[in-house]
Chain A
Amino acid sequence: MKLRSWFLLPARVWMALFFAAPLAIIGAYSFLTRGDYGGVEYPWTIESYARLADPLYLAILWRSLWIAGLSTAICVAMGFPLALFISRAGKRKNLYLQLVLLPFWTSFLVRTYAWLFILRDTGLINTILSALHIIKSPLPLLYNDGAVLLGLVYSFLPFFVLPMYATLERLDPALAEAAADLGAPPWRTLWRVVIPVSKPGIIAGAVLVFIPCLGAYLTPDLLGGGKSVMLGNLVQNQFTTARDWPFGSAASLVLMLASAILLVLLTTRRETKGLL
């Protein structure tokens, strides 16, 4: 074996043990029959996949795609101007980047709980608004799609801003100057040069947000309160309360497949090749 291959060995062993093997087990489970108290039994069947076509589950799949898509769109709309601002900030660039990364200093779980305290009926916003007599009864800020959306955008915005910043930072400033020189005011330069040239970065950042959003579990669980269920929660339910391991396995494989198809589509396109 060449020396080069030895360097790959730890990663290979790790991936085999903790990625490939569990994936194979899940794959096998998804074609088995549910056990009465959890676990799986024979015979082999495709019934779990057939059940996924049930309108109830299709609605959850659709809603997951929709919420993930909307979160991604909001992250792009908010993150692009922010990344552009940071890339032009000169000496303060590093300070702003640190601020974007600041939330990562605390645990994701703690930060999500913090939103509970801000949004709930007796939380920060409702307390202040009623103390100021702006509202009589608390606003329904928690346990709905809006709260899930807020939580997802809050969590994943940095995942868009960082690759976007890296792309914009590399953009030759002479391109914007050339556009201005040829008669384009700043917003036309943005539209005709900066955005098209940085499109690969926009797509890469959007994928980095969309995929984890699609499989999000904790945020819809805590902020959606079981009312705003996404695919991740469906999978979790099947392995715990519903005790339907084959169905949970099938759902998680469909989730993976959706992400994989998206990635393959993007990585084979000319302008995004080599970015992901």
Chain B
Amino acid sequence: MEPVLELRGLTKNYGAHRAVDGVSLTFERGGFYSLLGPSGCGKTTTLRMIGGFETPDGGEILLDGRSIAALRPWERDVSTVFQSYALFPHLTAVENVAFGLRERRAPNARERAMEALALVELAEKSARIPAQLSGGEKQRVALARSLVLQPKVLLLDEPLAALDPKLRKQMRAELKAMQRRTGITFLLVTHDQEEAMSLSDKLAVMNQGRIEQFASPEETWLRPATRFAAGFLGAVNWFGATGVRPEVTYADREQPSSNEAGNGARRAVVESTLFLGNRLHVHVRCESGESAVAEVARGREFADGESVWLWWNSADEMRFE
């Protein structure tokens, strides 16, 4: 696959604060990518530099091999879906979608806008203004408004953050289906690791302006490159430099055999148990002082204060020196 978008040593400062610090990433055509990180890590600034809304202080942005850093937003062949959707409140849904086509003097702007609305299943609401649409519908209009221009890269800035959790999961599936159907390269910014992992072909974990890891979701989950990446992607029980995920941390009343628990089992005391429906989270404190969480199946509850053995397979360990 050939790269459609390349970032080379991209840097942005706000006064003395370095918001983006030498970010280099390569995105291949037709992929679904995510920039994942906590708020303030520089992921949105990176996206805004690609969109042309922030000027980089250093580095290069290559779109199809050509530098676009000097181009203004309206000259770039990328399009952004904004977190607030930024739909034009005075225009109907179909006119919002037709906005970019009219700017380009494209023929049949209205018909093409209607087709794009049909793609997001909003054809029957084409005459409504944004105030008459629900959050999910606005989101789909914003998506159609960008997709209809067939940009080389679609940039999505926390597109699902404003939706309620149930709708968010549904839109997640729609987003993925839309990307596969159109074949357009998607680059999504999010702080939700589940969103990034479920959607992306590859995700970049960002922290303090730097890329910690750029790999497939499975790779980042199983073999996080840094302690930060391990902790940001999901819960980790830390035993010094060793990390173990709760779902592969076991709690038992009987001492496990030594070939099961490669690194030996630890004595621990149950502090509390959280019921999560399909599973339980047993919070324990080890005699060695660490607190940890073991995920167990329903029906295997422990009483608070009960002594247990805590163990895991050495293959499931993540080590950071």
1/0 per residue, CB under 8 A from B, across A197-241: the answer is 101000000000000000000000000000000000000000000
CB-defined contacts of A180 to chain B, threshold 8 Å: 52-53, 72-74
Please pick, from B74, B79, B89, the residue contacting A197 in the complex, using a CB distance under 8 A: B89
CA distance A178 to B73 in the complex (A): 9
Chain B stretch 79-95: residues in CB contact (< 8 A) with chain A: 79-80, 82-84, 86-90
Please pick, from A174, A188, A196, the residue contacting B103 in the complex, using a CB distance under 8 A: A188
CB-defined contacts of A174 to chain B, threshold 8 Å: 82-84, 86
Please pick, from B52, B72, B83, B103, the residue contacting A182 in the complex, using a CB distance under 8 A: B103
Q: Is the CB of B90 within 8 A of A178?
A: no
Q: Is the CB of A182 within 8 A of B99?
A: yes
Q: Is the CB of A197 within 8 A of B90?
A: yes
CA distance A222 to B83 in the complex (A): 56
Within 8 Å of chain B (Cβ to Cβ): is A169?
A: no
CA distance A172 to B82 in the complex (A): 12
Q: Is the CB of B90 within 8 A of A183?
A: no
CB-defined contacts of A178 to chain B, threshold 8 Å: 80, 82, 86-88
Q: Across the two chains, which residue of chain B brings its CB closest to A171?
A: B89
Q: Is the CB of B89 within 8 A of A181?
A: no
**What is the interface size of chain A, counting residues whose CB is below 8 A from a CB of the partner?**
18
CB-defined contacts of A172 to chain B, threshold 8 Å: 84, 86
Q: Is the CB of A181 within 8 A of B88?
A: no
CB-defined contacts of A182 to chain B, threshold 8 Å: 74, 79, 99-100, 103, 145-146, 149
Known contacts being A177-B53, A177-B73, A178-B80, is A183 close to B88, with CB within 8 Å?
A: no
Within 8 Å of chain A (Cβ to Cβ): is B51?
A: yes
CB-defined contacts of A197 to chain B, threshold 8 Å: 88-90
CA distance A128 to B12 in the complex (A): 53
Q: Is the CB of B99 within 8 A of A192?
A: yes
Minimal beta-carbon separation of B124 from chain A (angstroms): 23
CB-defined contacts of B72 to chain A, threshold 8 Å: 180, 185
CA distance A182 to B96 in the complex (A): 10
Within 8 Å of chain B (Cβ to Cβ): is A23?
A: no
CB-defined contacts of B87 to chain A, threshold 8 Å: 178
Chain B stretch 37-92: residues in CB contact (< 8 A) with chain A: 51-53, 72-74, 79-80, 82-84, 86-90
CB-defined contacts of B149 to chain A, threshold 8 Å: 182-183
Q: Is the CB of A183 within 8 A of B86?
A: no
Minimal beta-carbon separation of A204 from chain B (angstroms): 16
Q: Is the CB of A184 within 8 A of B88?
A: no
Chain A stretch 126-152: residues in CB contact (< 8 A) with chain B: none
Within 8 Å of chain B (Cβ to Cβ): is A73?
A: no
Within 8 Å of chain B (Cβ to Cβ): is A175?
A: yes
CA distance A145 to B99 in the complex (A): 44
CB-defined contacts of B74 to chain A, threshold 8 Å: 180-185
Minimal beta-carbon separation of B113 from chain A (angstroms): 12
Within 8 Å of chain B (Cβ to Cβ): is A193?
A: yes
Q: Is the CB of A196 within 8 A of B80?
A: no
Please pick, from B73, B83, B88, the residue contacting A175 in the complex, using a CB distance under 8 A: B88
Within 8 Å of chain B (Cβ to Cβ): is A253?
A: no
Known contacts being A177-B53, A178-B80, is A184 close to B86, with CB within 8 Å?
A: no
Q: Is the CB of B100 within 8 A of A183?
A: yes
Q: Across the two chains, which residue of chain B brings its CB closest to A174?
A: B86
Minimal beta-carbon separation of A182 from chain B (angstroms): 4
Q: Across the two chains, which residue of chain A brings its CB closest to B155?
A: A181
Within 8 Å of chain B (Cβ to Cβ): is A52?
A: no
Minimal beta-carbon separation of B127 from chain A (angstroms): 15
Within 8 Å of chain B (Cβ to Cβ): is A84?
A: no
CA distance A146 to B150 in the complex (A): 55
Q: Across the two chains, which residue of chain B brings its CB closest to A176?
A: B86
Q: Across the two chains, which residue of chain B brings its CB closest to A182?
A: B100
List the 8 shortest-distance A-B pairs measured between CB atoms, nearest first. Answer: A182-B100, A178-B86, A174-B86, A183-B103, A180-B73, A196-B90, A174-B82, A180-B74
What are 27 of the A-B contact pairs (CB < 8 Å)? Answer: A174-B83, A174-B86, A175-B88, A175-B89, A177-B51, A177-B73, A177-B80, A177-B86, A178-B82, A179-B88, A180-B74, A181-B79, A181-B80, A182-B100, A182-B103, A182-B145, A182-B146, A183-B100, A184-B74, A184-B99, A184-B103, A185-B74, A188-B103, A192-B99, A193-B88, A196-B90, A197-B89
Using CB atoms and an 8 Å cutoff, list the residues of chain B in contact with chain A.
51-53, 72-74, 79-80, 82-84, 86-90, 99-100, 103-104, 145-146, 149
Task: Beyond the given A175-B89, A177-B51, A184-B103, please list 8 additional residue pairs across the A-B interface where CB-CB is below 8 A.
Answer: A175-B86, A179-B99, A181-B146, A182-B100, A185-B74, A192-B99, A196-B88, A197-B88
